[in-house]
Amino acid sequence: MVDFKYAPRLDIGFIDREHQKAFDDANALKGLLESALEASKPVAADIENLLQTLLSDTINHFALEEKQMREYQFPALDIHRKEHQRVLKWMEKEHRRWQLDQSVETIVHLQHYAGEQFPAWLLNHIVTMDTAMASYLRSHGGDAL
């Protein structure tokens, strides 16, 4: 289980807040997928909504990070943006998988994505690329973001 409490704070308000929300949403998604397996109540629409929220929040979050990196002329912008694009494509693929097929196999697959793969990616991304970005932004006058 990957927990947000192990993620370092980057001390840039909107980034830390949105990272927390992404962890919370992935965790809530994992919970909904568990309920879907138990078939105790219909949750397909809730899963779809949460997948949409996670996707649109991630698109907005990446765009905001990229805007700051551009504004402050962060040297590693291209590498960072490519990683964002790769992860967005991956997220879109998982979303589409759910829309096409809501079988037990898909639910188990998405549980792994929401419960392990995505949070592990996010934690690693925060510790590496986002940390480098945030320290650059802070030392170039971006501490009021």
For Fe ion, the binding residues (CB under 5 A) are: 65, 130
Measured between alpha carbons, how far is 102 from 94 in angstroms, rounded to an integer? 11
Nearer to Fe ion, 65 or 94 (CB): 65
- What minimum distance in Å lies between the beta carbon of 65 and Fe ion? 5
Nearer to Fe ion, 67 or 112 (CB): 67
Both tokens assigned to 73: 């002329």
Nearer to Fe ion, 85 or 139 (CB): 85
Distance set, CA 41 to CA 8, 35, 95, 99, 113 (Å): 37, 7, 21, 19, 22
- What minimum distance in Å lies between the beta carbon of 69 and Fe ion? 9
Measured between alpha carbons, how far is 93 from 70 in angstroms, rounded to an integer? 28
- What minimum distance in Å lies between the beta carbon of 93 and Fe ion? 19
- What minimum distance in Å lies between the beta carbon of 47 and Fe ion? 25
Nearer to Fe ion, 31 or 88 (CB): 88
